[in-house]
Structure 1
Amino acid sequence: MDSVEAVAEKKDVQDVEEELDETGYFKDELSIFSSLNRFEHYLDQKIGLEAEAVERKLPEHRQTASWSEQLNIIFLWMSSNITLSPFTTGFLGWEFGLSLKESLLCCIFGTLIGSCATAYCTTFGAAMGLRQMSVSRYSFGWYPNKLIALVNVVQQVGWSAVGVITGGLALEAVADGHLSVAVGIIIISAVVLVIGMLGLRVIFLYERYAWIVLFVVFMIIFGETAQYVDNKTPTKLEGTVFSGAILSFLSVTYGYSASWSPVASDYYVRFPANISRVKVFFLSLVGLTVPTCIAMCAGAVTASALNANPHWKETYENAGVGMYLRDILYPLGFAKFLLVLLVLSSIGLNLMNTYSGTLSVQQISPILGKIPRFIWSLIFFGVVIALGLAGRKRLSAYLQNFLDVIGYWCTSYMVIILMEHVFVRKANFANYDLSQWNNPKGLPHGIAAIVTFLVGVVCWVMGMSETWYVGPLAALFGGKGGDVANEFTFVFTCVAYLPLRLLELKIFGK
């Protein structure tokens, strides 16, 4: 139940007491919303459903974090990233025609760069007590930020679809094809729904231990596939076509890690406000980079074995990565056991996607914000299943196109947040009026941010290289093109945002 002090951050202070009824809920709420919120608060009291997830967490309501609790930062990202999704992403280097060495280098450096972007965004959570979509209101303003929240919802739904597809493929392989991918998708989605509705406390508990099992599984994959690794076959690509393939795969690997940046601070709001930002950055960087590199490099290594066995190649192309793993690992019973464990990785990934996605929906509009998060979890459940069923037969193309596009917008988003904080707010959180986080009048208009973001879309279009479209800059590399959209977007955003923001400050004073 909202206290007068908490509500004062959202509404004018003088009106707060008049707008609350005797139970503490707003008098003007529609009865259906009021009933749903009361039910959500009841569930929160009984099972910790986290009814007020979107609200700012005030410093006095947070507890000191012990070293073991701070290590949860690493474990959270470990369990969410040592999964089948980056493993499958690692196969794309082989599909681009790169050698194993080139694929591994792209996996490592692309992941590191993308992880730096996400790790930077994590530092805002504890300092401000706000979820990532609320943090960006101080750059994008009240109304433009609604578009950003909507885009983020699409991203989280898309990532969830990737997670259930890869998990469904693993379950299909365990059942020797007798259990369809579609059924696997529904099973995984249902498990995520149940766990995810319980909120951050349960998510942290799951992610704290899941990575241990998954780390062992991926070490076994490395060990069993080592004898089949092809590290001698060079790429057949040359000149600008080769450069284009490198750039395109780098864009994909960067996009995977950078895609966490629009949700990064969601998981830090309960940490004390005075926790070291440097510590948070490096703990997050380790938690993001190490597991992603392990899983993605395992995918690249396993993909290289396709060069040596035509039967495996046929299995991968016709039946997917799950069946291929079942064939290459041994003995068969043990391979199936490992695949069952890998399904857990899809659950860990989708827990975070669903949690952050529902938070973003609630910040698109006040009406949507009044609908409890558990209702949005149910809606996510249905949408993810629909997308998973639609994309289950073209996972590699889905991954390449999806990861590229989300990488583009995450680059724009992250650079705008960085420029605002460093150059406008002077890298000082005292320059943010945090009491106005939910008040349109107290936030910037966001004109500079949204103009920079929308014009940045032109940069994406010019530099992207997708299966369905190759931009004019990407086409200069020949062949399938070379994806330079992220680089072009980064440079444009750095150059354009600051002068536009300073002009906005001069005209409007905020």
Structure 2
Amino acid sequence: MSSPETAPPREGVIEQHSIDYVPHSERHGKVWHQGPFWFTGNFVLPTMVTGFVGPAMGLSVWYSVLAVLLGVSFGTFFMAFHANQGPRMGLPQMIQSRAQFGSRGVVVPFAATVFVYVGFLVFDTILAAQGLGLVLPDIKLFWYPVLIAVSIVIAVVGHDLLHFVQRWLTYLLIVVFAILTIVAIVHFSSNPVAPGAPAATAGWDLTAFLVQFSLAAGYNISYAVYVSDYTRYLPADVSAKKLISSVYAGAAFSAVWLMSLGAILSSYLPDPDPILALRQVGDLLFPGFGLVVVLVSVLALISIMGVNAYGAMLTGTSAVDGFKRVRPTVRLRVIGLTVVGIASLVVALLIPDDYIGSFNNFVLLMLYFLVPWTAVNLVDFYFVRRGGYAVAEILKPDGLYGRWAWRGVVAYAVGFLAMIPFFSSSFYVGPVADALGGADFSFVVGLIVSGGLYLIFARSIDHDAEAAARAASQAELEGSAR
């Protein structure tokens, strides 16, 4: 088995694996790399925009920061525990869900996941193009396809390039944004509030606090669908505690920092635009520094666009494989990434100019669709099967886990339905949320109902039959890798 400190010889630059199993002979990487990977993955402008919401609803800046801190701490908990699944199973995140839902029953979580990836890719594209528009001609029809094409190239090269770029961007982001954050705090604490800025009238508002909490939690829960994609190459015997802690620290620290910065900017600037706000505050240090901040942010956006394109390709390929068996070749990856890119370009060109309002609704939709999935998936891994799966059977659409696994499908559906009365968004407010003044507790309901039901249903699983299949599966997978 490969040591965590060494990497086996690689064949070529382009990653060869996609939705297939990564054998032990090809495992490599270090656990601590997960920290900077998820720091940079979360240190992007959509994260900052999430922090705009509390002040815009009348919440004071420090109450907004508290809501962010609590929400991120809660949401990252679920996201980080998915990290341990990657090295134990050697598979991308979403294809693992076949064990709970079946190769075809998993289509609803898959569709929601592709929605998440494409949605983030769209918003990242819009923001990156706006940033470049400060120094270059602001032409959507040029920049959108160029930016998406660059992200696809990064995703084609694959896993190791994404890790490399994310890791080294961390150092640059920390330096630049540490300076910017200090400038913002010093300036806004010693100057009068601008006319029309929320800080002039902000205070305590329970509804606003809960909305900010839910958005912060949902934002990081949405990263649950990514995690094993970037831990599956680690050796199978890495420390679970260290791995989960590294992912949690990176993702939580960056989210709390950037959302809190967003809350500060939103409190003291009337109707802030993320790009223009960064430039305005950065230029308080010296003219031109704001532009440096924006361009560094664009680099981070391009990197995470590659991550989103990569994840969408993996999930989309897994969905197709459930209905028509596919060979996970590099050519198929390129085709899948091209489809993702075209879809993202079309949506980016059609999205309304008020993308901040659209983004907030997008985050809530992610929360609604992904909470029942993460509950079922984590309960199965940690409490039902306890990390023991016949991985070769997961990869077979008609294998041991079947095409339609009723336990996961029913638990997911009932959990989602139970959440509906608690929904609170601009397009729908459920009766319970309405009675609570618009507060959204749906994620708590979804976690408890879906996770609890699945745990009850799982009592009838035949673990003895699965144990025999696990032994045969490991021999089959490692034997075929020689």
Question: Which residue in the other structure is 1:54 paired with?
Answer: 19
Unaligned runs of 5+ in 1: 1-43, 307-312
Query: Which one of the candidate residues 231, 235, 251 is aligned to 2:202?
Result: 235
- Check conservation: 2:199, 2:268, Cα contact below 8 A: no
Match of 1:488 in 2: 445
Would you say the 8 A contact 1:147–1:364 is kept in 2? no
Aligned to 1:302: 265
Q: TM-score normalized by structure 2?
A: 0.85
**Shift of the alpha carbon at 1:450?**
0.7
Q: What is the distance in 2 between the residues matched to 1:389 and 1:250?
A: 31
Q: Distance in 2 between matches of 1:84 and 1:491?
A: 31
1:460 and 1:399 map into 2 onto residues whose CA distance is: 21
Of 309, 316, 324, which residue of structure 1 is paired with 2:277? 324
**CA shift in 2, pair 1:99/1:464, >3 Å:** same
Take 1:57 and 1:96, find their aligned partners in 2: how far apart are those partners?
A: 47
User: Helix, strand or coil for the counterpart of 1:465?
Assistant: coil
Q: Give the Å deviation of 1:157.
A: 0.5
Q: Residues of 1 paired with 2:130 and 2:53: CA distance?
A: 17
* d(CA) in 1 for partners of 2:199, 2:365: 32
* Residues 114-123 or 79-88, more deviating: 79-88
Match of 1:363 in 2: 318
Query: Alpha-carbon deviation of 1:189?
Result: 1.7
Residue matched to 1:161: 122
Q: Is the 8 A contact 2:279 2:289 kept in 1?
A: no
Which AA in structure 2 matches 1:470?
V
- Whole-Å Cα distance in 2 between the matches of residues 392 and 404 of structure 1? 18
Q: How many residue pairs end up in the alignment?
A: 440
What residue is the counterpart of 2:229 in the other structure?
266
Which of 190, 213, 217 is matched with 1:250 structurally? 213
What's the counterpart of residue 448 of structure 1? 407
- Go from structure 1 to structure 2 and tell me whether the alpha carbon gap of 1:253 and 1:368 turns closer, same or farther (over 3 Å shift): farther
Q: Which residue of 2 aligns with 1:73?
A: 34
What 5-or-longer segments of structure 2 have no aligned partner?
1-9, 468-482
Map 1:409-428 → 2, pairs under 5 A: 409-425=369-385, 427=386
Paired residues of 2:278 and 2:293 also in contact (CA < 8 A): no
Other-structure match for 1:220: 179
Is 1:100 matched up with 2:61?
yes
Quick one: distance in 2 between partners of 1:182 and 1:346? 18
SS of residue matched to 2:106:
helix
Q: Secondary structure at the match of 1:235?
A: coil
Are the equivalent residues in 1 in contact too, given 2:72–2:220 (CA < 8 A)? yes
Give the letter for the 2:108 counterpart: L
Identity between Structure 1 and Structure 2 (%): 22
Name the amino acid aligned to 2:334.
F
CA contact (8 A) 1:99 1:233 kept: no
User: Are 1:501 and 2:454 an aligned pair?
Assistant: no
Match of 1:293 among 245, 256, 260: 256
Tell me which residue corresponds to 2:341: 381
Deviation at 1:414, TM superposition (A): 1.4
Deviates more, 1:337-346 or 1:161-170: 161-170
| Cα distance, 1:182–1:328 mapped onto 2, change above 3 Å | farther
Task: Compute the displacement of 1:52 (Å).
Answer: 2.6
Partner of 1:482: helix, strand, or coil? coil
User: Whole-Å Cα distance in 1 between the matches of residues 49 and 146 of structure 2?
Assistant: 20
The AA in structure 2 aligned to 1:469 is Y
Q: Output the CA distance in 1 between the equivalents of 2:25 and 2:338.
A: 33
Distance 1:181 1:224, change over 3 A: farther
Query: What CA deviation, in whole Å up to 9, does each residue of 1:216-271 have, x standing for no partner?
Result: 2211221222212569756356xxxx322221111111111111111211111111
Amino acid at match of 2:442: A
1:505 and 1:246, CA in 2 relative to 1: closer, same or farther beyond 3 A? farther
Shift in Å at residue 504 of structure 1? Answer: 6.1
Q: Distance in 1 between matches of 2:234 and 2:445?
A: 36
Q: Deviations over 1:123-170 (max 9, x none)?
A: 000011111112211111222123322221111111111211222222
Structure 1 outlier segments of 4+, above 6 Å: none
For residues 86-138 of structure 1, the C-alpha deviation after alignment (integer angstroms, 9 at most, x for no partner) is 11211112222211011101111111111111110010000111111122111
Could you tell me how far apart the structure 2 residues matched to 1:274 and 1:222 are? 39
Q: State the partner residue of 2:429.
A: 470
Deviation at 1:183, TM superposition (A): 4.3
Residue 51 of structure 1 and its aligned partner are, at CA, apart by 3.1
1:39-92 deviation line (CA, Å, top 9, x unaligned): xxxxx965x3223321111224324x5xxx322111211111111111121111
**Aligned counterparts of 2:140 and 2:75: Cα–Cα separation in 1:** 30
**2:478 aligned residue:** none
RMSD of aligned C-alpha atoms? Answer: 2.4
Alpha-carbon distance between aligned partners in 2 of 1:386 and 1:368, rounded to the nearest angstrom:
28
Give the secondary-structure state (helix, strand or coil) at the position aligned to 2:36.
Answer: helix
- Tell me, in whole angstroms, the C-alpha distance in 2 between the residues paired with 1:420 and 1:437: 14
Aligned equivalents of 1:187 and 1:391: distance in 2?
Answer: 18
Following the alignment from structure 2 to structure 1, what is the Cα–Cα distance between the partners of residues 14 and 466?
40
Match of 2:73 among 97, 102, 112: 112
Contact kept? 1:146, 1:363, Cα under 8 Å: no
